[in-house]
Chains A and B, each alone.
Chain A
Amino acid sequence: MSVWLWIVLAFVGMGVLAWVGRRVGQMATSNAPRFRDMPYGVAFGYVFAAACILGGIWLWFLPGAVFFRWAVQGFVLFAIAAFVFRLVFRHVGTAATKRLFRAMPLTAAFGILVIIIYAVLAIFAGAIAPYGQSEILGAANVVPGGDPAMGGNPLYPLGTDQIGRDILSRLIYGAQNTVGIAFVTTLIAFFLGGSLGFLAATVGGWLDQLLSRAVDVLMAIPSLIFSLLLMTIASVWADGEKALLTVYMILIIAVIDSTRVFRLARAVGTGIVVMDYIEAARLRGEGMGWIVFREILPNAMAPLLAEFGLRFCFVFLTIASLSFLGVGIQPPLADWGTMVRDLGPFINFAAFAPLVATAPLMAAGAIALLTVAVNFVVDWMLQKSSGLKE
Chain B
Amino acid sequence: MSTVLRIILQRLALGLLTLVIVSIVIFAAVNSLPGDFAQAILGQAATPEAVAAIRTQIGLDDPPVTRYMLWLYGAVQGDLGISFAQANFTTFTGSSNNVTVADQIAPRFANTMFLAGVTAAIAVPLAVTLGILAALYRNSVFDRAANIFTLSSISSPEFFVAYVLILFLAVLNPILPSLSNIYADMAMGARLKATLLPALTLTLVVTAHMMRMTRAAIINLLASPYIEMARLKGISPLRVILRHALPNALAPIINVIALNLAYLITGVVVVEVVFVYPGIGQLFVDSVKIRDIPVVQACCLIFAAAYILLNLTADILSILSNPRLRHPK
Contact = CB atoms under 8 A, between A and B. Distances in A.
Nearest to A226: B300
A371 B156 contact: yes
A216 B18 contact: yes
A376 B299 CA distance: 35
B303 interface: yes
A372 B161 CA distance: 13
Contact of A390 (B167, B219, B273, B296): B219
A222 B266 contact: yes
A230 B25 CA distance: 11
Given A216-B18, A232-B288, A317 B157 contact: yes
A360 B237 contact: no
Contact of A222 (B26, B156, B293, B307): B307
Nearest to A366: B160
A281 interface: no
A225 B284 contact: yes
Query: Which of B35, B154, B156, B238 neighbours the largest number of chain A CB atoms within 10 Å of its CB?
Result: B156
Contact of A221 (B35, B137, B238, B304): B304
A221 B270 contact: no
A236 B296 CA distance: 14
Determine chain A's interface SS by DSSP, over half rule.
helix
Contacts of A217: 18, 21-22, 25
Nearest to B168: A67
B34 A236 contact: yes
B75 interface: no
A368 B157 contact: yes
Contacts of B219: 390
B137 A42 contact: yes
A321 B158 contact: yes
Given A320-B157, A348-B178, A357 B151 contact: no
Contacts of A41: 133, 136-137, 238
B32 interface: yes
- Minimum-distance CB pairs A-B, first 7: A364-B160, A371-B155, A368-B156, A375-B155, A224-B266, A350-B171, A225-B303
Given A325-B269, A326-B285, A347-B166, 4 more contacts: A220-B21, A226-B300, A321-B158, A321-B269
Interface of A: 3, 39, 41-42, 45, 49, 64, 67, 107, 216-218, 220-226, 228-233, 235-237, 313, 317, 320-321, 324-327, 337, 340, 344, 347-348, 350-351, 357, 360-361, 364-365, 367-368, 371-372, 374-376, 379, 390
